[in-house]
Amino acid sequence: MKVLANDGIATSGVIALENAGFEVLLTTVAQDQLIKYINEKQIDVLLVRSATTVRKDIIDGCPSLKIIGRGGVGMDNIDVTYAREKGLKVINTPAASSHSVAELVFAHLFGMVRFLHVSNRNMPLEGDANFKGLKKAFAGGVELRGKTLGVLGFGRIGQATAKIALGLGMKVIAFDPFIDQVNLEVEFFDHQSLFFNIETISKEEVLAQADFITLHVPAQDKYVISKDEFEMMKKGAVIVNAARGGVVDEMALVDALESGQIASAALDVFENEPQPEVQLLMNPNLSLTPHIGAATAEAQSRIGTELADQIIEILK
């Protein structure tokens, strides 16, 4: 049986699949050539990440396909319901990248509270001529410890982010329409654990109380955060979106930054990927990364192994 990993797969996944007797193809096929390639090679399993879309044309046009796999959590680039109606298995790896995304959230938070996202731009330009001026400009940092983190969406990634916050000494509040409470286990290097019971509250309460807000929600039909939500937040709050592009109204975010309602914000995902709006790219109060939440060696290894295990279980 043949597996096409069109957007790549970690070596761990390749080895596991090949050891189980699968042929793994790592060719990156252009979207408009995908149907032809799959049919010529008689591909049984198509694995994608975010670069490749799997819509009805591929599902209908490739009768050899048995499994469509997404290396990651969100599957908005796959017509999941339609594929399953046609008898295909659709799999993903919801747990594999949780900690990597959570760490990226805190990379942004640590950077923003100490102005690293601005300092790293300005030091190469002015560090020799205006050292004292920059030192004064970036001297008003704050600590995360003792502050309140509001988590919108308290699934696997939201919970992983909360665990880091708790380890730092932050208070965690959360909203999730499908979860009432979670008993979080925070594990330490010496195998000790502490448990924290987090009861979810309303979205409005989270927005009003949190010093820092992080989103971990699936793609939506409308904005989760827009003008009204920004107005509910504490003046000077900070927000991070490492979930999906389109859950935050980006132009409303720019307005909130310019008015000072929001002190700073971080985006790893964008409404118009891969061409984010220039108003975002040029805003000095935004900390930006190019959709790299799951882009760690550890996460990709877990994703590869988890996909391979599911494929082997289904087809063997």
Active-site positions read 244, 273, 291
Using a 10 angstrom Cβ sphere, with 0-12 exposed, 13-18 middle and 19 or more buried, the burial of residue 5 is buried
End-to-end CA separation in angstroms for the chain: 10
Cβ proximity of 98 and 156 under 8 Å: yes
- Please say whether the dihedral angle defined by the alpha carbons of residues 143, 283, 235 and 260, taken in this order, is positive or negative: positive
Q: Using CB atoms within 10 Å of the CB of residue 291, give its burial: 0 to 12 exposed, 13 to 18 middle, 19+ buried.
A: middle
Helix axes 11-19, 297-315, angle to 10 degrees: 20
Cβ–Cβ under 8 Å, residues 156 and 128: no
Distances (CA, A) of 314 to 41, 44, 46, 124: 21, 12, 14, 53
